[in-house]
Amino acid sequence: TTKVGVVTCGGLCPGLNDVIRAIVLELNTHYGVRDVVGFQHGYAGLVPENGHAVVPLTPASVARINERGGTVLGSSRGAQDPSVIVDRLVELGIDILLVIGGDGSMRGAHNIGLEIAARGLQIGIVGVPKTIDNDIPHIGQSFGFSTAFAKAAESIKAARVEVEAAVGGVGIVKVMGRHAGFIACYAALANHDADFVLIPEVGFSLDGDNGLLNLLAQRVKDKGSAVIVLAEGAGQDLIPADDRTDASGNAVLGDIARFLRDEIGKDFANRSQPLTMRYFNPGYAIRSVPADASDSVYCARLAQTAVHAAMAGRTDMVVGRRRHRFVNVPIPFVTSGSHSVSPDGDLWLSVLESTAQPFAMR
């Protein structure tokens, strides 16, 4: 009989529990596979010395988990030694490992696949790629993205209400997305409440006639208020280098929101223009919610596709939807290269139209 393991890795994302649930139901209903187990807290759960339990996953235990955000298995970031993981898979008699995780986790999955192949074992490894950032190459849209940006759009709406009531109201809404501006763009387009959208893919300047500061001051004069939607990875080149490295010297995202708030504060003071700044950071809230109806269905279909692929003997691949079709993609395709908002693409052009007067593009 077949034994299947499931693991969720990396940051949270709406729909993780939907994927787990649909994997278990599909395996039981269509393939009669009853022996399904979950590993806790990402790959760390496959390393025995960490002491995490291996949890049986049954149709009863996963029945309504989709109604909750997060992952019932827990998660963690970080790779583990592939040879330790493969030892554990062999010890537990796992035939298939299903990994729900981001690009780092998929790189980890590929390395586990290499180790399996090197040992001549017959263990399948299939991924369901996950990120709220929506930046997976070759995949049309990542699951949970739509739920996440809808949640971010609520903060933009709240910012609009706040700044319209204030004198010289400027709202800054910082959203996640790491090196991609998809969340910022889609959330801004969802309700057309943004005046400026700043994303990592498009550089901007602060100073000069067409710099952000001048355009912002003008906009507030003309309209009474303005809302800036700020992707956390935007404007990194403007931040002093020291603020973009951690204590060990590794590159990290600098706090562009703090930087902009300071610069805007100084600039409005110089102009003697009244300013009421409101800062919103929906942060983790956008990824901890349960999947909406559409994402929920999408998650179930991705999970079914992953189960079919794995049960058909495929390995070292991930599933995704591309041009309305569910597809199998080799892991290296989704872990190399990047997928980002194209400054010439329809998405960015729509953002420019919706914000009417965006900012100077260098």
The type of residue at 209 is D
Give the span between the Cα atoms of 35 and 24, in whole angstroms: 9
State which of residues 131, 214, 236, 354 lies at the interface with ligand F6P (CB under 6 A): 131
State which of residues 18, 95, 115, 133 lies at the interface with ligand F6P (CB under 6 A): 133
State which of residues 132, 153, 163, 302 lies at the interface with ligand F6P (CB under 6 A): 132
Q: Taking contact as CB under 6 A, which single stretch among the options 79-87, 139-147, 154-162, 172-180 is the one that binds ligand F6P?
A: 172-180
- Using CB under 6 A as the binding rule, whether residue 184 contacts ligand F6P is answered as no
Give the residue nearest to ligand F6P (CB).
176
Q: Give the residue with the Cβ less far from ligand F6P, 53 or 252.
A: 252
Give catalytic status of residue 242 as yes or no: no
| Residues 64-83 close enough to bind ligand F6P by CB under 6 A | 77
The active-site residue, picked from 18, 103, 133, 316, is 133
Q: Hey, which residues does 169 pair with through a beta bridge?
A: 225, 276
Minimum Å gap between C-beta 46 and ligand F6P is 20
- Using CB under 6 A as the binding rule, whether residue 287 contacts ligand F6P is answered as yes
- Using CB under 6 A as the binding rule, whether residue 11 contacts ligand F6P is answered as yes
Give the span between the Cα atoms of 77 and 108, in whole angstroms: 11
Give the span between the Cα atoms of 216 and 180, in whole angstroms: 23
DSSP line for 282-324: -GGGGTSSPP-HHHHHHHHHHHHHHHHHHHTT--SEEEEEETT
- Using CB under 6 A as the binding rule, whether residue 178 contacts ligand F6P is answered as yes
| Residues 213-242 close enough to bind ligand F6P by CB under 6 A | 232
- Using CB under 6 A as the binding rule, whether residue 200 contacts ligand F6P is answered as no
DSSP line for 34-89: -EEEEESSGGGGGSGGG-PPEEE--TTTTTTGGGSSS-TT--------HHHHHHHH
Q: Which residues does 53 contact at the CB level (< 8 Å), separation at least 6?
A: 40
- What the block records as the tokens of 237 is 């080149």
Residues that bind ligand F6P (CB under 6 A): 11, 77, 102, 131-133, 176-178, 232, 287
Catalytic residues: 133
